[in-house]
Amino acid sequence: MAMAIKTEAGALAMDRGARLDGSARPASVMDRVGFQALIANDLAAVERAISGTADVPVKLLSRTLQVVLGPGGKRLRPTLVLLASHGNSRASLQRRVDLAVAAELLHTATLVHDDVIDLAESRRGSPTVNHVFTNALAVLTGDYLFGQSGALVAGLGSPAIMRVFSWAVMEVVQGEMLRPSIGPDLDATERDYLAKIRGKTAALLAMACETGAMLDSEDGEARRACHEYGMSLGMAFQIVDDILDFTATEAELGKPVGHDLEQGTITLPSLLYLRAHPGDTIVRAHLTGGVGLGEGATREAVDAVRASGAIDQCRVRASEYAREAIGHLSVLPPSPSRDALEALASFVISRHD
């Protein structure tokens, strides 16, 4: 991961110490721009390529793709690809963009299929493709995105990168099929939860960062460091997502507050709350088959978790994973790209949307 472009590394660091101590300083637009400034032109090329994915001769498919590929995504996976490959003169911009787009299309395909499984009607505040059209068309759209992602990776001519993409798909499927449940052993439930988010979230971030480091490079140490960084970053990212389900607004979430709890999805905040409140009935009811308890009951449960120490405990956990992610980068030489990756880890735990 050679880094040649000069930038203001201090600005990219973005007061990371103040963000990794478990506090929740709100993330600003400038925070988001900070770690992406180094690759702004590359990201613009990625956006154009993603938009072009919907340019297909089958009009119905073009319409479903436009719904799926509309604006609003964080583009975290392309960002990781571009930062991990930044400064590598052997990797052309086109190849870096192709890999970044492949990572985003793969991620999007998994979201489309998730929405079908969950019967979701909206994502990021916009209607899902299965809601606008049908589940069948949504599945086919997701399949197309998987295929397009694979075609882009195959065009890179790297069986090793293809293997990492294939590994990530298998991890996502296994993570999706894990079903943590509330029982007498909450430690076992937590282990299942962590295994689930490793598969569903962390694996794709590890894939993006690792393959970025691999592209037209034989630096095994950078590859390993980027894989581990991505895994730890993914764990922090998902825990923060789970926190936001209790603390963010509906406008920020693009879905109702407490949606996971209402759907009976076990997340770390609710799990830590139950550990501290074994006599609770309302939160436990949501997580043990009580789907549809009503808006009032969900609000009561959300308020209980939010007012407890579980949220702060989760912030500490997320901060620990973020520190771990930054630690994995220590084997890489100092560079603007490494600074940006460290800043990204800080942003992930401080974001509010």
pLDDT: is 20 or 138 the higher one?
Answer: 138
Q: Region 261-288: what's the mean pLDDT? A: 93
Predicted local distance difference test score (pLDDT) of residue 130: 94
Q: How many CA atoms lie within 13 A of 53 on its CB side?
A: 31
pLDDT digits over 292-339, tens only? 577 788 899 999 999 999 999 999 999 999 999 999 999 999 999 999
Alpha-carbon distance values, 301 to 39, 54, 125, 183 (Å):
42, 41, 23, 19
Residue 124: its pLDDT value, please?
Answer: 75
Lowest mean per-residue pLDDT among 7-16, 129-138, 199-208, 307-316: 7-16
Computed over every residue of the chain, the mean pLDDT equals 88
The DSSP secondary-structure symbol of 309 reads: T
What b-and-e string marks burial along 74-100, b requiring 16 or more CB atoms within 10 Å of the CB?
Answer: ebbbbbbbbbbbbbbeebeeebbbbbb
* Residue 16 predicted with pLDDT over 70: no
pLDDT, residue 71, reads 65
Is pLDDT of 287 > 60? yes
What mean pLDDT comes out for the span 78-98? 97
Q: What is the pLDDT of residue 292?
A: 59
Residue 2 pLDDT greater than 50, yes or no: no
Range 245-273 average pLDDT: 84
Other beta carbons within 10 Å of 107: 24
Domains, the chain: 28-350 (1.10.600.10)
Radius of gyration of the chain, Cα coordinates, nearest whole angstrom: 20
pTM of the complete model: 0.88
Residue 294: the pLDDT is 76
Contact yes or no for 117/109 (Cβ under 8 A): no
pLDDT per residue as tens digits for the range 108-117: 999 999 999 9
Split at pLDDT 50, 70, 90, the class of 121 is confident
Max distance between CA atoms of the chain, in angstroms, equals: 60
Q: Which of 25-29, 238-242, 281-285 has the lowest mean pLDDT?
A: 25-29
What pLDDT is stored for residue 291 in this prediction? 59
